[in-house]
Amino acid sequence: MVDINTILADIQSMALQYAPKLLLAILTLLIGLWVVKMVLKLLEKGLMAKKMEETTAHFLASILGGILKVVLIVAVIGILGVETTSFVAILAALGFAIGMALQGSLGNFAAGVLIIILKPYVKGDMIDTRGDIGKVQKVEVFTTTLLTTDNKTIIIPNGGIFNNSITNFTKEKLRRVDFTFGIGYGDDLKKAQKVLIDIASKHKLVLDKPAKPVAKVVALADSSVNFTVRVWTKTEDYWTVFFDLNEQVKLTFDKEGISIPYNTVDVNISKE
């Protein structure tokens, strides 16, 4: 027959034996997590104070945070009385098994490291990768987060980005804006060319360096004579210049009597 008093005594004895260890382990875990958080925050601030790029600082802090948390868990388990040597061996074997199962994730991690080192883009850059266009919000251990111009968030694995072409629209300080404008075959070509140069040159955001605005005939198309207009501006002014010049060319062409032809089809009907 089971003696309830004996069971209660055993439970009390185990509680007295393990309760202090369990309490100490919990306190160690909570305090340790707080300390890790503070260390990472100070590390990021310190790295950025030394002019390190924000993305790199965040990435390094993420890696250090993972290492410190593993060390903390091992310490907590040691406090509970578990043989840490055996636990570390089990953890290593488990890590190897997980690594084999998640080779793609390791590839993303490696790509993340290379992105941080080579810096094809950093936080705040506008990039195009695999057809996904957006401003870089975060570069993390496994993924990069983009924010599109219509406010959608795109999370892309780093491996998918690094193994494909990357177009960085904002890495350089200056960009060239290219336009194509067509005029009718009956219009004054030299007049149209002068109008285009004048419009481009007078815009306050168009630069004279590295090259002054140009307007050259690029094609004798089916129903129009096409000009290519090229101007330089600061990268942040690209879209302002693009929209303004398109509008000003249309208004000025209308004022100067220069036509902007559209495709037409001549239909000839013959009677038998």
Strands of the sheet containing 153-157, edge to edge, are 153-157, 143-147, 132-139, 126-129, 166-168
Q: What mean pLDDT, rounded, does the chain reach? A: 82
**CATH 1.10.287.1260 residue ranges in the chain?**
9-101
**Domain range 9-101, CATH architecture:** Orthogonal Bundle (1.10)
**CATH 3.30.70.100 residue ranges in the chain?**
174-256
- pLDDT top residue among 77 and 155: 155
3-state SS assignment for residue 148 = coil
3-state SS assignment for residue 123 = coil
Domain 121-168 grouped into CATH 2.30.30.60 = yes
Task: Report how far residue 199's alpha carbon sits from residue 213's, in angstroms, rounded to the nearest whole number.
Answer: 10
Average pLDDT estimate for 21-29: 79
Average pLDDT estimate for 92-106: 55
Task: Report how far residue 198's alpha carbon sits from residue 72's, in angstroms, rounded to the nearest whole number.
Answer: 68
Task: Report how far residue 194's alpha carbon sits from residue 204's, in angstroms, rounded to the nearest whole number.
Answer: 18
**CATH 2.30.30.60 residue ranges in the chain?**
121-168
Residue-wise pLDDT tens digits, 46-82: 777 766 666 667 777 777 777 788 777 777 777 776 6
pLDDT at position 101? 44
pLDDT at position 50? 67
Average pLDDT estimate for 23-40: 82
224 neighbors 183 (Cβ within 8 angstroms): yes
Q: Is the pLDDT of residue 228 over 80?
A: yes
- Other Cβ atoms within 10 Å of 196 Cβ, number: 26
174-256 adopts what CATH topology? Alpha-Beta Plaits (3.30.70)
Average pLDDT estimate for 186-204: 94
Task: Give the CA angle between residues 41, 44, 48 to the nearest 5°.
Answer: 140
